[in-house]
Amino acid sequence: MSRLIPIKYHKKNYPAFIKCDIDEVTGHFDSKSINPGRRYSLHTEYSYWSRNLDSVLLEGLDEIKNSCIRGIPQLWKSDKWAQEFAEFIVRLVGDNMAPDIIEVHPPFTDYCNDFATFFSRYKIFEDKIKMVFPKTKILIENRCGTRAGKRFLITDCKSTLEFLHLLCEHELSLRMVLDYPQLVSGERIPMDNINIDNIVSFNENLKQYKHLISGFHMWGKRKGQKKWTSHVGDLDSFFSGNISKKREFLSSIRDVFSDDAPRFFVPEVNSSESDLHSIVMDIIEAGFVFEGELLIEKGCANNNSDECRHSQNFFSN
């Protein structure tokens, strides 16, 4: 069975029959405070936009404030940066409950172009975080796309598999959360004629490292008059209405994670709640089970709703 733990993204609700009790909370370098009302995943700086590095929480953390290109933070710039990053997170959490998850992101390759350097700097960070938040899981996300004009260390299929292979050799608690749409971008797959052979092959190779994967992100893209917009739309728009490719894509992911281990799921949808629901229903129809799903008679007030029909089909399979 492929099991998922839902995380709430941008206050958008899951379908009614899915119970979600973890929120994603922003923890970028321009954050001044957080106020989680329940369990949460702290999503830290991902180095796409420029930031105003003037938060009081960065006082005295000069390595972080000085490590940027056109205002865009340079992650894992040095050993000192890793120490200061841990201090920033401790300050940001403050008196709040400890996060269930801290999500981090890879460095740019122009100053950290090998995994040995990254692991060395990361360990400094993990050692300090685990002293303060011993039960918190630390996950790293693959990244593609930045206004810095640089390449991330973990961005495509090859670098992701290399990272996971080397992670096996280190005594770290670090695990990975896979962003599949970014992986498609990292592979430079044209959206107008999307071919997922590389992703399917990647998933086959990924099976040997599935114990290092603690979750994944999913979101859509939609084509406007001139370009594709990320985090908008659903998987139908992502695959330009090609249902067979969408199903092959999801089935190859399900086959990797059919080991009954629960993994976190973040639907990074910036458009409508209906787009989020569409993605979730596709995930369910592919064979995933969300932790905390309610019984149909409790979760569906309207037995004729699309959500109920989807869930009835799923539970009858």
Q: What percent of the chain has pLDDT over 90?
A: 90
User: How far is residue 89 CA from its own chain's centroid?
Assistant: 18
Structure-token pair, residue 118: 């990254």
Q: Identify any residues that bridge with 218 across adjacent strands, giving them in sequence order.
A: 267
- The span from the CA of 233 to the CA of 208, in Å, is 32
Per the structure, the complete domain to which residue 16 belongs is given by: 2-316
CB-based contact 310:281 (threshold 8 Å): yes
The pLDDT mean for the chain works out to 93
Provide the sign of the torsion angle of the four alpha carbons 83, 86, 87, 88, taken in this order.
positive
What is the pTM (predicted TM-score) of this model?
A: 0.92
The per-residue pLDDT for 294 is 57
Q: How far is CA 296 from the centre of its chain?
A: 29
* pLDDT, tens digit, 9 for 90 and up, residues 56-85: 999 999 999 999 999 999 999 999 999 999
Q: How many domains does the structure of the chain reveal?
A: 1
Cα(65)–Cα(30) distance, integer angstroms: 11
pLDDT digits (tens, 9 = 90+) for 220-260: 999 998 899 999 999 999 999 999 999 999 999 999 999 99
Q: Write out pLDDT tens, residues 8-66.
A: 999 999 999 999 999 999 999 999 999 999 999 999 999 999 999 999 999 999 999 99
Average pLDDT over residues 103-132: 98
CATH of the domain at 198: 3.20.20
Write the CB contacts of 20 (distance below 8 Å, at least 6 apart in sequence). 6, 7, 8, 13, 14, 292
pLDDT of residue 309: 41
